[in-house]
Amino acid sequence: MNYKIKDLSLANDGKKQIEWAEMHMPTLLEIRKRFEAEKPLKGVNISAVLHVTKETAALVKTLKMGGAEVALAASNPLSTQDEVAAALVTEGISVFAWRGESESEYYNNIESIVKIHEPHIVMDDGADLHAFVHEKMSSELKVFGGTEETTTGVIRLRAMEKQGVLKYPVIAVNNAYTKYLFDNRYGTGQSAIDGIIRATNILLAGKVAVVAGYGWVGRGIANRLRGLGARVIVTEVDPIRALEAVMDGFDVMPISEASRIGDIFVTATGNTKVIRVEHMLNMKNGAILANAGHFNVEIDVKGLKESAVSVRNIRPYVDEYVLQNGKKIYLLAEGRLVNLAAAEGHPSEVMDMSFANQALAVEYLVKNKGKLQNKVYNMPIELDYEVARIKLKSIGVQIDELTEEQKGYLEQWKSGT
């Protein structure tokens, strides 16, 4: 087996981490039990680009127990947990990932996982692997299906579909209700703030926090910041979302205004250059900048570096930039995903649902091989419900069931007031 990781001797630590994660991922483990018995992925090669964390390990082990061969690279140069990578190698997974990859190493690793075997399924988080397969690989692809974990990746894949260049069907795992309603909101909501606090140890109570973007990630972060005592300002480009933020009790204004009064700024838009040097020059001395969006483009780090008078690292994940106006601003984790870089990423409990969807999506692609078009498909709703049902059961929550009379009531339209 081929692999490239930091240090194989970390495997024992990694195993305990994975054990800890699995204890909090009962849904995936329930699916694993079935996979182990039924081997539905037998003979399937999977190339996966995902954050190499203890939760991903639980997924990859599940796929393997289901019969698949898996090769894994990182979806972010800073997010790999090296001890987990080591543990996975001892489990027979071809891992090419380590914390702190350079940009060329990052792309080399992606290349490695599609060279080591001919992938049948491509699993991605951000669509860099999908883009690579489409741009760099020869036309005789064996790939018969893909999955995508993020909003950002789905947007890219829909653009590919629209341009007619998509070469295989892709399940937008991100669009499963049991994924985006939970992972993005509760998972990133908590872990982004965890990253900010670990990096800075600042008190959130009494601070003015600016959240750029009021999608599921943004509203998760805004709510958690409020839950910790901050006064929260939201910036948006979408008038409906802006109105929701207003009705949710947040202050809404353009970033040009918000930049003057914020103490902390968190981007979660999925777009580029949301906070630019012109805004940074408005900011208070001591302002803190963090990104919770998938790519490190939301804060204009390049512009900041070019225009700053000086830079120094003051604490792990905290760089101090002195601007030309003499004010100091603090950039966390170089503008990369703050929850993965400065903390441990999503808690296992939400990845449990996201990755239960991934496992079921892969099984679905195998079962429906040849029956799907080269399009982006939403997660089949019955699988989505399956995940919810297993999750509720695993945490001991019971719910009601419709009576026959109630089922009938929902289907008729004649009786009224």
Only one of the segments 86-94, 136-144, 243-251, 357-365 lies at the binding site for a second copy (rule: CB under 8 A); that segment is 243-251
Q: Out of 14, 119, 126, 335, name the contact with a second copy by CB under 8 A.
A: 126
Distance CA 314, CA 311 (A): 9
Please say whether the beta carbons of 60 and 48 come within 8 A.
Answer: yes
Q: How many residues line the site for a second copy (CB under 8 A)?
A: 108
- 9-48: contacts with a second copy (CB under 8 A): 16-17, 19-20, 23-24
Binding mask 274-293 for a second copy (x = CB under 8 A): x-----------x-------
Angstrom distances, CA of residue 327 to CA of 212, 270, 276, 281, 332: 22, 28, 15, 8, 17
d(CA 196, CA 201): 8
Task: Output 298 or 363, the one with its CB closest to a second copy.
Answer: 298
Applying the rule CB under 8 A, the residues between 384 and 413 that interact with a second copy are 384-385, 388-389, 391-392, 395, 397-403, 405-406, 409-413
Stretch that binds a second copy, among 40-48, 61-69, 267-275, 303-311 (CB under 8 A): 267-275
Q: Concatenate the DSSP letters of all residues of 218-248 into one string.
A: HHHHHHHHHHTT-EEEEE-S-HHHHHHHHHT
216 marked ligand binding residue: yes
Residue 128's Cα: distance from chain center in Å? 13
Closest distance to a second copy from the beta carbon of 261 (Å): 9
- Using CB under 8 A as the criterion, what x/- string covers residues 84-113 for binding a second copy? -------------------x--x-------
Q: Kindly state the DSSP code that residue 173 receives in the 8-state scheme.
A: G
Q: Which residues have C-beta within 8 Å of that of residue 221, sequence separation ≥ 6?
A: 188, 189, 192, 193, 211, 266, 268, 292
- Among 3-11, 61-69, 115-123, 180-188, which window interacts with a second copy (CB under 8 A)? 180-188
* CA dist., res. 17 & res. 292, Å (int): 24
Q: Please say whether the beta carbons of 142 and 167 come within 8 A.
A: no
User: Is residue 215 annotated as involved in ligand binding?
Assistant: yes
Annotated binding site for substrate: 53, 125, 149, 179, 183
Would you list which residues are annotated within the binding site for NAD(+)?
150-152, 184, 213-220, 236, 271, 292-294, 339, 346
